[in-house]
């Protein structure tokens, strides 16, 4: 058995390592329990879904043996209490911070170059950042773009950053007539991602589930209005600084985006509220709270 003053397993996927450590001196950070809340994400992407689920189950089964489990949101804490044998007092909530690189101060030359590349025809740019797994709800995003274009007469283009579209999502893009209205940029360096946030007119992030959800916070830190969903940890993170809608209600999501594009006062209010909200999530605060947990563990288990 490995002995140390404090052990910190930084990802719950590896919680099974508790078996090789002193449990009373061990902390585990749990980021989300998507595997259990939305198991279709495993079955749709894993080559061996039953094995993948067993690996996750093995770790969740030992979470309660840790001195403390750190949840990255109140919503994740709720899921931990539902799917593991942890006690409420055993789970501490410590929100993530947002990196300082995400800021409102724009390099206008880079912003203008970005918009010249993607919005030369005057298009308003909608951004999505993240994976394309089922819970990210890419299909609803594409349908929102179609409604904005075809039904509402909005000249919009979707900028997709992150994981490549799946084959079925590519077919949907074609079926909806969006081939020339969707741009996939792939995975970007942080500095390029910042420019993307700063250059787009709104972030569209109707995720079905998030353990925390960084993109809305990053967008708000960059002064970009956010349309997101009412599910998972998102309301807890964005507060009243974004427009929240049910994630599969394409009509309401489209109206929310259109309101940002057409109402300058609303847009300014969301930007101001977002900048203030994002200031609450700092890594300094997260680290300070984590250090307190370390101290508590050291007091809990004298040697």
151 CB contacts (<8 Å, ≥6 apart)?
254
Q: pLDDT tens-digit profile of 72-112? A: 999 999 999 999 999 999 999 999 999 999 999 999 999 99
> What average pLDDT score do residues 34-53 get?
68
Distance (Å) of CA 51 to CA 14, 48, 112, 116: 15, 6, 48, 47
Structure-token pair, residue 42: 């495993």
For residue 38, the model assigns a pLDDT of 80
Q: By the 8 A CB rule, do 227 and 257 touch? A: yes
Q: Where are the beta strands (DSSP E) in 177-245?
A: 182-186, 202-205, 226-229, 243-245
Tokens of 181: 């209205």
pLDDT interval class at 301 (50, 70, 90):
low
Q: What is the pLDDT of residue 46?
A: 56
- What was the pLDDT predicted at 45? 60
pLDDT tops 70 at residue 206: yes
Continuous H helices in 12-73 = 34-37, 40-45, 49-60
Q: What is the pLDDT of residue 220?
A: 98
Is the pLDDT reported for residue 49 higher than 70?
A: no
pLDDT tens digits, one per residue of 121-154: 999 999 999 999 999 999 999 999 999 999 999 9
Confidence at 163, pLDDT banded by 50, 70, 90 = very high
Question: Over 70: is that where the pLDDT of 16 sits?
Answer: yes
Residue with the larger pLDDT of the pair 208 and 35: 208
Residue 187 class from Cβ within 10 Å (0-12 exposed, 13-18 middle, 19+ buried)?
A: exposed
Start-to-end CA span in the chain (Å): 15
Band (pLDDT 50/70/90 cuts) for residue 35 is: confident
pLDDT of residue 300: 73
pLDDT beyond 90 at 294: yes
| Residue 297: per-residue pLDDT | 92
According to the model, what pLDDT value does residue 2 have?
66
Q: Can you list the domains of the chain with their CATH numbers?
A: 7-97+282-300 (3.40.50.2000), 108-278 (3.40.50.2000)
In this structure, how many other beta carbons lie within 10 angstroms of the beta carbon of residue 112?
12
Residue in 20, 10, 27 with CA at minimum distance from that of residue 66: 27
On the question of pLDDT at 177 being above 90, the answer is yes
pLDDT of 33 > 80? The answer is yes
β-partners of residue 157 are 125
pLDDT (0 to 100) of residue 37: 83
pLDDT at 47 over 60: no
Mean pLDDT of 20-46: 83
Supply the pLDDT for residue 4.
Answer: 77
Residue-level pLDDT at 270? 98
Mean pLDDT throughout 246-257? 98
């Amino acid at each position: 058995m490995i002995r140390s003053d404090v052990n910190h397993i930084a990802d719950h996927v590896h919680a099974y390592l508790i078996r090789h450590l002193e449990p009373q001196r061990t902390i585990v950070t749990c980021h989300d329990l998507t595997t259990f809340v939305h198991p279709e994400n495993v079955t749709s992407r894993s080559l061996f879904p039953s094995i993948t689920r067993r690996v996750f189950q093995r770790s969740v089964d030992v979470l309660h043996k840790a001195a403390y489990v750190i949840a990255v949101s109140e919503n994740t804490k709720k899921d931990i209490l539902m799917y593991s044998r942890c006690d409420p007092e055993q789970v501490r909530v410590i929100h993530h911070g947002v990196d300082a690189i995400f800021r409102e101060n724009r390099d206008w030359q880079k912003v203008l170059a970005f918009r010249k590349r993607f919005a030369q025809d005057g298009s308003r740019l909608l951004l999505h950042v993240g994976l394309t797994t089922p819970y990210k709800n890419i299909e609803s995003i594409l349908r929102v773009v179609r409604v904005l274009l075809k039904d509402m007469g909005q000249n919009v283009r979707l900028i997709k950053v992150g994981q490549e579209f799946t084959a079925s999502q590519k077919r949907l893009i074609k079926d909806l007539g969006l081939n020339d209205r969707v741009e996939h940029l792939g995975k970007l360096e942080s500095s390029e991602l910042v420019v993307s946030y700063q250059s787009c007119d709104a972030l569209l992030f109707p995720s079905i589930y998030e353990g925390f959800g960084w993109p809305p916070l990053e967008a708000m830190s960059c002064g970009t209005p956010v349309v997101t969903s009412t599910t998972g940890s998102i309301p807890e993170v964005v507060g009243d600084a974004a427009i929240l809608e049910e994630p599969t209600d394409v009509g309401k999501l489209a109206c929310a985006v259109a309101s940002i594009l057409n109402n300058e006062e609303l847009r300014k209010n969301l930007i101001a509220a977002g900048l203030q909200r994002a200031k609450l999530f700092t890594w300094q605060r997260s680290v300070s709270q984590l250090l307190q947990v370390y101290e508590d563990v050291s007091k809990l288990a004298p040697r």
